[in-house]
């Protein structure tokens, strides 16, 4: 994996000459495009999670209690899908610009785990819980299992956003003195910065 990501960051698309840059390095070095890309990712994330927030709050019986759940979902679903598509595209492009950085970042790894949890929850809701929607579609407060799925959805997406925000901070960056646990989780020994114990001793 390390060799693949190193090639992706430093080798893919790189021309001849000492000053030549890979596609990844060119993208990262493009100040205006990078800022536009990052801003678009944040805006589409807000759109995606914002629409999910509305649906989840309805499922919890907090808002639009007199409106059928199906009507709320159908009205918002196109915006949710639009936000999700552009969020994924811009997110993958951001990772492409710094694949090694993200791969060895504990917050990014945790974000990916939470993202999987959130998507599994979406799948469980649509493939199992929603099958009985006809029985509770018009209820002001849906059944407990519906509210539980909505609560898990809210918590998981909030956690995904929080971890994404923490990626910008280098509290646990490889190359700094870290605990054995952090070094192992981030696979720092394989990183360009290396792994260091809390006493400052290089471990690889």
Rounded distance between C-alpha atoms, residue 190 and residue 2, angstroms: 7
The answer to whether 34 touches 97, Cβ cutoff 8 Å, is yes
| pLDDT per position as a tens digit, 23-47 | 788 888 887 888 888 889 999 999 9
Sign of CA dihedral 145, 151, 154, 158: negative
Whether the pLDDT of residue 56 is over 90: the answer is: yes
pLDDT in tens, 171-181: 899 899 999 99
**pLDDT in the model for residue 30:** 84
Q: What is the mean pLDDT of the chain?
A: 90
Can you tell me which residue has the tokens 């927030």? 53
* CA 47 from centroid of its chain's CA atoms: 14
SS3 118: helix
pLDDT, position 117: 94
Determine the Cα–Cα distance for residues 80 and 2; give it in Å rounded to an integer: 34
What pLDDT is attached to residue 23? 78
CB 47 within 8 A of CB 83: yes
Q: What is the pTM of this model?
A: 0.88
């Amino acid at each position: 994996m390390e060799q693949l990501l190193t090639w992706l960051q430093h080798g893919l698309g790189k021309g001849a000459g000492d000053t030549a840059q890979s596609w990844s390095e060119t993208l990262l070095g493009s100040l205006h495009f990078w800022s536009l890309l990052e801003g678009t990712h944040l805006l589409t994330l807000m759109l995606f999670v914002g629409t999910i927030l509305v649906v989840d709050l309805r499922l919890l019986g907090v808002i639009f209690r007199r409106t059928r759940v199906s009507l709320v979902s159908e009205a918002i679903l196109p915006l949710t899908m639009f936000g999700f598509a552009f969020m994924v595209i811009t997110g993958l492009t951001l990772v492409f610009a710094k694949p090694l950085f993200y791969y060895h970042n504990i917050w990014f790894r945790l974000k990916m785990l939470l993202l999987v949890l959130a998507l599994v929850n979406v799948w469980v809701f649509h493939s199992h819980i929603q099958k009985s929607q006809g029985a509770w579609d018009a209820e002001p407060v849906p059944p407990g299992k519906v509210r539980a799925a909505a609560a898990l959805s809210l918590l998981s997406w909030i956690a995904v956003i929080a971890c994404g925000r923490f990626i910008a901070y280098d509290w646990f960056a490889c190359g700094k003195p870290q605990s054995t646990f952090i070094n192992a989780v981030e696979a720092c020994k394989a990183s360009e910065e290396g792994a260091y114990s809390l006493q400052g001793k290089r471990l690889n």
